Structure 1
Amino acid sequence: MHNGSIIQDGGWDPTDLAQNNIIFGVCIVAAILHTFLWSQMIMRKIKFDITFLFSLSYISTDIFLLLFYFIAYAIRIRSWIPITLATCYFEAYAMFYFNILETYSLMALNISRYWQIVRNPNTYTDHRKMIIVSCVITPFLVAINLIIQDILGWSVLYSIPGSSCNVSFTNIPIQVWNMTIMLVIPIVLSFCLLFRAFRFLQSAQAGQLHIRRNHHRKVTIQTLIFYSFWFILWLPGMIVNCLDSDYVDGTTNFIVILLSTIETLCDPIVGVFLDKRIAQAWKKSYKWMRRQSGKIKITSDLNKCAFSALPAIDPQTFIQACKDYVNSELAPVVEVRACNSNCATKICPYKAAKVQCGTKCHPAKKKCCTNT
């Protein structure tokens, strides 16, 4: 229905409800993964700086996409809530808008990395203001583009009872414009810069392949892997959104939305190819879980021990026994010397102070000594 004041009864029809229940289940898993990733990045003290800005903005768009879908789902499953014009605009434009921002976030990331590899290794430092300004201006430009098209009637909001609201672009020139601005330029530019950066690194002489170039080659390959995965799952949905939705049947629309949702679910995992700090968050979390499982195992083993059968030992008696051993003939023969070696320090077992490595602390003379 094309109408300037769309108001309809809420709820989906049985087919749309079943399809959205599947998408909702995928979104629940995606929300769990994203929440875990963000909590680990904060708890593991991952460094958030300007070099992480574009990767972080890309991951952030997933949070908004999930949040907006949960809001739309909560409204639609309550069939007694009418769908107002504001609700319909939100349902049609919100996720479409943040999907566009995903494209520009990845394009900005690839431009910065290409410039850093080929031209200037200090790109994020030398062009700090330009990077920040681009992050602020881009969302406004994308929003202005969509608002102008709606005001001039180049895009039409429509709703079919029992289905979600959608936006339809009225003529072919507008569809071509949106495809060019929102898809072709960002995606083609990103792929071109990735391949140019890779060829630049490949053409370098063997003597020039120092640690920095090897690191850049690894980052370029990982970014290409991530971008290919994202391109396959995300692109079909955006093509459908940019074309006239009247010509897309419900099953096709469901499939492309499901693919896009799966891509959102996989972002926290495949994001390890996008930025090393995401990989660090997962790695530190894995190490922490291994340590915790080790503690649980040790505690379980200790619980099996019959400590009640062991005799009680007075702490002073235990300390005196240790001192007697050190002063006895069983203790290693030692030579007294000053602590003046240049090696690293360690904790003295007797004085609870740092001494030079390879030394022991004589309990009586209180000087450092080494084995002869």
Structure 2
Amino acid sequence: MNITCSKPLLWTQAIIDNTKPQLYIYIIASLMHLILWLQISFSPRLRQKKFLWIYAYLSTDIFLLSRFLFSYIIHTTSTECQPSRAWVLFNCYFEATLDNYFNITEIYILLGLNICRYVQIAYNRNVYQVHMKLLIFIQFCIYLIPLVVCIVEFLVGWTQIKDPIRDSCEVFYTNIYVQIFNTIFAYALPMFLNMLLIYASIHHVHLTSVLQSTQHHVSAREKYHRSLVIQFFCFYFIWGILLSPYVIIFQVSFRQQNVINVVTLLSLVEIACDPIIVAALDIRFWRQWRKLGVHLKNTIFIDRRNRRRIQPSIVNLN
């Protein structure tokens, strides 16, 4: 009697080969985030309440990297012929839903950051000092609401999981209305609100600069507000290019594997770039990266100079 061993959790060699570029980007991203969090650990200036949203955003990157590593290890090492159904389902739901969930929370975290910056620019109010409890509650809701939406869609049957043997699990939606709702909720609405706030901030800074130009005076506060708008616009532009395709595709039942591989790779590139481009959100992060760059540069050049100076002595025996 022949008993075939299907190994349902083990990826095929073709899938492993297609995932290797993602693995390389994952390694780079992990190193970049490790360096950033080490800088945060040793720099008291970076441990402030005003970085609440930035740290929440960076934390989602850590969860996304952990999810990728967990799934990669499971799918490349699991050799069980018949693993328990509960374990298979756990892995399926874990890899099919977690990325989408954290990407949605990232968009709304950026919206929360943008709202706080607009209040700071338009009303000159430090919301992190005045409304810290409210901000923590809003952040809790940002994590909770997408989770509730995801669970409800599964419970009522609008969203289902496809678990092909020796392949990645996928989410698919039972009707077009769910896809439209998810696209609006997960992408279109927060993107529109973010762009609206960026426009309102630019408009306010422009009006203020025009008013002060008539007085032949530009205050340091207005220069700072202008830099805040430019910084967030640059960050959001890069984020939108790299991550938007991934978020949009995973709100609809898309089955083109090559496209999914490309947008997944772009999302990992965005995660790898986050420790650098987050410097666009606050100059203190940029100063820490510049300080690290100067230190590495000096270390390399000093090491080279010392090697040049220390020459081996040659003894002439004749």
Which TM class, normalised by the smaller chain length? 0.7 to 0.9
The residue correspondences of 1:215-294 to structure 2 (distance < 5 A) are 215-245=224-254, 248-293=255-300
Matching residue's letter, 2:231: Q
CA distance in 1, matches of 2:155, 2:164: 22
Match of 2:101 among 97, 101, 111: 97
Which residue of structure 2 lines up, in the alignment, with residue 338 of structure 1?
Answer: none
TM-score, normalized by length of structure 2?
A: 0.87
The residue correspondences of 1:14-93 to structure 2 (distance < 5 A) are 14-81=13-80, 82=83, 84-93=88-97
Which residue of structure 1 lines up, in the alignment, with residue 8 of structure 2?
Answer: 9
CA distance in 2, matches of 1:297, 1:88: 51
Match of 2:172 among 168, 173, 186: 168
| SS at structure 1 position matched to 2:263 | helix
CA distance in 1, matches of 2:307, 2:261: 49
Q: Answer yes or no: is 1:197 the counterpart of 2:201.
A: yes
CA distance in 1, matches of 2:307, 2:20: 42
Which residue of structure 1 lines up, in the alignment, with residue 316 of structure 2?
Answer: none
Structure-2 change in CA distance of 1:120 and 1:215 (3 Å): closer
1:185-242 per-residue CA deviation (whole Å, 9 max, x = no partner) reads 1111111111210121111112463101111111211211110111011011111110
Q: CA deviation at 1:96?
A: 1.4
TM-score, normalized by length of structure 1?
A: 0.75
CA distance in 1, matches of 2:286, 2:136: 24
Structure-2 change in CA distance of 1:297 and 1:111 (3 Å): same
1:23-50 per-residue CA deviation (whole Å, 9 max, x = no partner) reads 1111011111111111122223333122
CA distance in 1, matches of 2:252, 2:301: 55
Q: Which has the higher helix share?
A: 2
Higher relative contact order (CA 8 A, sep 6+): 2
Q: Answer yes or no: is 1:139 the counterpart of 2:146.
A: no
Q: CA deviation at 1:97?
A: 1.1
CA distance in 2, matches of 1:158, 1:152: 16
Q: Is the 8 A contact 1:44 1:284 kept in 2?
A: no
Matching residue's letter, 2:175: N
Matching residue's letter, 2:111: M
The residue correspondences of 1:171-190 to structure 2 (distance < 5 A) are 171-190=175-194
Moved over 3 A (4+): 290-304
| SS at structure 2 position matched to 1:244 | coil
Equivalenced residue count is 298
Q: Is the 8 A contact 2:109 2:142 kept in 1?
A: no
The percentage of aligned residue pairs carrying the same residue is: 29
Q: Is the 8 A contact 1:116 1:122 kept in 2?
A: yes
Structure-2 change in CA distance of 1:294 and 1:260 (3 Å): closer
Q: Is the 8 A contact 2:7 2:78 kept in 1?
A: no
Q: Is the 8 A contact 1:55 1:275 kept in 2?
A: no
Gaps of 5+ in 2: 1-5, 314-318
Q: Answer yes or no: is 1:124 the counterpart of 2:123.
A: no
